[in-house]
Amino acid sequence: MSDYPISGYHGRVLVADLSRGEVRTEPLDPDTALAYLGGRGLATRLLYDAIDPACDPLGPDNAFVIAASPLIGSNAPTAGRGHMVFKSPLTGVIGTSNSGGTWGAAFKSSGYDAVVVKGAAASPVMIDIAPDRAEILPAGPLWGKTTHETTDALAGASEPGRPARVLCIGPAGENLVRFAAVANDRNRVYGRCGPGAVWGSKKLKAIRVRGKERIAVADEEKYRSGLDQALYLMKQAPVTKRLMRDLGTAGLVELINLIAMLPHKNFQDCSHRDEDVERVSGETLAKTLLEKAGSCYLCPIGCQRHTRVAGRQGGEERGEGPEYETMVLMGPLCGIYDMAAITRANYRANELGLDTMSYGGTLACAMELAERGLIGREEAPGLDLVFGGADALEALVGMTARREGLGADLAEGAFRLAAGRGRPECAMTVKKLEIPAYDPRASYTQALGYMTSPSGACHLRGGYAVSLAFFGGAREIPRFSLLQSPIAIRNMQNTGILQDSLGVCRFTGYAFSADPWARMVSGVTGRDLSVAKLEEVENRVAALERLFNVEAGATAEDDALPDRFAEVPIIVEGKERRVTREDQERMKQDYYRVRGWDAAGRPTADLVRSLGIAGRRA
Amino acid sequence: MMIQVKFFAYFRELFEGRDRELGLGDGSNVGDALARLCDTAARRREIFAGEELKPHLVVMVNGVPAQSLRGLATPLADGDTLAVFPMMGGG
């Protein structure tokens, strides 16, 4: 344990300069730690200080930061998640991605609060982190290997009590696929915004961590009061107690269809046959492919799906997934209801290291372009590139990871694919990030969330509006309220910032909100981190993300949905629903006001001052 | 009237089926339908807390949550679909 003035932190940031082949340790300023907490907050601050947001995201001047939090190292439920922040090669704005598993806890035990990686190596390298030394090692023999091969090769450094945990990229990241992911513990991922391509551009193959460094809890009684309440509430709430374990997130498929929000054919509509939806439901997954549930570090919820499926040419394959987003975006969004095909394609995506969400969104866009005659049959020989084409789904994962044939176009993401064919309106993206598996015409609140998420269309950073409108409880709001959506989505976004900055899971939010966290983090640190103080942190991080994006060139015009959602209605509860430009503009302006930003969506000087956001530090 | 009832998640085990048709008298409401379905103590326990619906339930009439209609007093008509879920969440 360290002598750092704030309990829960080691007070050390590892900085790796891959151009120079050097690593060094920098102290973590205690005021910065308390102002930004950890995880997403701290990583955003460190990134903001490390790079020019206008840099080339695939060049050596980009950096990425991964941060732990003061709760990691305690036994707070789910406290083991890591958060990675970088400039995104897919969107050109801030890339902010979160992942579970055990790497975050292992990283914290290696004696650091955060790692900053800048520059680019001339040939493949890895970073090896242990408490007594951190070094950059050559990784030539690993280059070209899948995420599974790489992780298994490097896990051999494990010792009793000090398991070695690995983050790595696969061929997709090496080939700079714009939505390449960073794999974590084999089948967890830092999925969105293309961190794998950033690593690939730096010739960084893997980061391995191990250690035994612990943290102290400054005020045991306060910590325990928060912990006990959290654990009790998690046992009461059906979602966290049982449903996630039974069905995984795929249990959502039937419900989302029932409320007319399940995307179909590149968001052309939300109309499915009930018998088709059943084929990709969580119930069917549990009955046919599920071997067992699984959990991340210190998690009682158990939503992981460990599955097996028949191979295409006989035999059996094993892996993890599909979860809800993968099931729908690589399924009904592409007109596909073949769970076995979706599952095999999911396994490929995990092994090759690319984001299943962006892959599905890009493929659906390609299918629509093909049906309109803008992608010729000769570009995908032997594949039926039409909605429902399950063969194309499976074959194109590998081709995309290797940038082969049509895969080279898909590797650019839906926006660049569609724009390259003269049809940008066929890309269902916001800020070039492919839209998640909830149709925004079925919820104005979710629409606003996609528009204003800092990373592009995202339900995890933009706010998850689905549970609000449908279930009882204090946070319920009607789905089509222009008036209430701005405050509601701001609150959902802030809750996400808190969870991401504490290294804990979104799903705890189905059982409890900020109060137990405030007590746990105040208990660990010995500082007064009340719910109100935490709200300040949330607003500070949101403003800093926005400042980054403004400097990266984003404007208020980018906070908008594709034309399809404004012009083409879907039927919800018997009525036609779309999100008109006027309604988008009105919600957006109200949201800016609620955030304290000006009419152009920029944090005002007064806000920056009152939140204590310092200018960039060299 | 005849309505369609659909069950999801562990309610399929509880009610022993994915869906069924239910015959109800004219003027029946959601509460009447659920009371008919909950013909054992175990089923009643999962759905009702006294006379009210348990809080962590999703009950929908033709895709609309019952609580944004008239709750248990929501009237039903011939051909309606009643869906019963434990509350789900996801990502």
Query: What is the number of residues in chain A?
Result: 618
Average pLDDT, chain A: 95
Q: Are residues A320 and A452 in the same domain?
A: no
Whether B73 contacts chain A with CB within 8 A:
no
If asked whether residues A47 and A191 sit together in one domain, one would say yes
* Structure confidence at residue B69 (pLDDT): 85
Which backbone phi and psi does B54 adopt, to 5 degrees? -60, 150
Please tell me if residue A438 touches chain B, with a CB cutoff of 8 Å.
no
Whether residue A131 is found in the same domain as residue A163: yes
Contact B10 A324 (CB under 8 A): no
pTM for the model = 0.96
Residue A394: inside a domain: yes
Assign A200 to helix, strand or coil: helix
Q: How many domains does chain A have?
A: 3
Q: What is the pLDDT of residue A618?
A: 62
Which amino acid belongs to residue A71? Answer: L
Considering the domain architecture, whether residues A420 and A445 belong to the same structural domain is answered as no
- Answer whether B86 touches A (CB < 8 Å): yes
CATH code of the domain covering residue A42: 3.60.9.10
Interface contact B65-A244, CB threshold 8 A: no
Looking at the DSSP assignment, which residues form a beta bridge with residue A489? none
Q: How many interface pairs between A and B have CB atoms less than 8 angstroms apart? A: 80
Domain end marker among A411, A434, A457:
A434
pLDDT > 50? residue A422: yes
CA-closest candidate to residue A104, choices A207, A173, A1: A207
Instruction: State whether A258 and B90 contact (CB < 8 Å).
Output: no
Q: In what order do the strands lie in the sheet with B19-23?
A: B19-23, B2-7, B81-86, B57-61, B64-65
The reply to whether A407 and A260 lie within a common domain is: yes
Residue A473: pLDDT over 50? no
At residue A492, what are phi and psi to the nearest 5 degrees? -65, -40
Contact A249 B67 (CB under 8 A): no
d(CA A128, CA A207): 6
Together in a domain, A17 and A76: yes
Residues A504 and A565 occupy one common structural domain: yes
Of the candidates A539, A99, A51, the one whose C-alpha atom is nearest the C-alpha of residue A353 is A99
Question: Coil, helix or strand for A458?
Answer: coil
Same domain, A280 and A402: yes
Q: Is residue A411 located within the same domain as residue A468? A: no
CATH of the domain spanning B2-86: 3.10.20.30
- Picking from A243, A443, A506 by the largest number of B CB atoms within 10 A of its own CB, the best residue to mutate is A243
Answer whether residue A244 shows pLDDT above 70. yes
A487 falls within a domain: yes
* A168-195 residue pLDDT tens: 999 999 999 999 999 998 889 999 999 9
Please tell me if residue A408 touches chain B, with a CB cutoff of 8 Å. no
Residue A166 and residue A139 in one domain:
yes
Structural domain boundaries enclosing A513: 440-610
Does the beta-carbon distance from B12 to A283 stay under 8 Å?
yes
| A472 pLDDT tier (thresholds 50, 70, 90) | very low
Q: What pLDDT score was predicted for residue A77?
A: 96
For A83, the token pair is: 């958060």
Cβ-defined contact of B68 to A478 (cutoff 8 Å): yes
Q: What percent of chain A has pLDDT over 90?
A: 89
Judged by CB atoms within 8 Å, which residues 24-43 of B form the interface with A? none
Interface of A with B in 220-239 (CB under 8 A): 237-239
Give the pLDDT band (50/70/90) at residue A536.
very high
Confidence of residue B56 (pLDDT cuts 50, 70, 90): confident
Averaged over A191-208, what is the pLDDT?
98
CATH of residue A486's domain is: 1.10.599.10
Q: Do A471 and B58 touch (CB under 8 A)?
A: yes
A-chain residues within 8 Å CB-CB of B9? Answer: 243, 246-247, 251, 282-283
Give the CA-trace dihedral at A374, A376, A382, A388, to 10 degrees: 20
Nearest to A529 by CA among A82, A78, A72, A71: A71
Its ipTM equals 0.88
pLDDT at residue A161 is higher than 90: no
A454 shares a domain with A380: no
Band (A240; pLDDT cuts 50, 70, 90): confident
| Paired strand residues for A178 | none
Task: Kindly state whether residues A295 and A335 are assigned to the same domain.
Answer: yes
| Domain chopping of chain B, boundaries | 2-86
Residue A471 · residue B58 · CB < 8 Å: yes
Please report the pLDDT score of residue A353 as a whole number: 98
Q: Does residue A259 belong to the interface with chain B, where contact is any CB pair within 8 Å?
A: yes
- Whether the Cβ atoms of residue A360 and residue A314 lie closer than 8 Å to each other: no
Q: Tell me: the pLDDT tens digits for A47-68?
A: 999 999 999 999 999 999 999 9
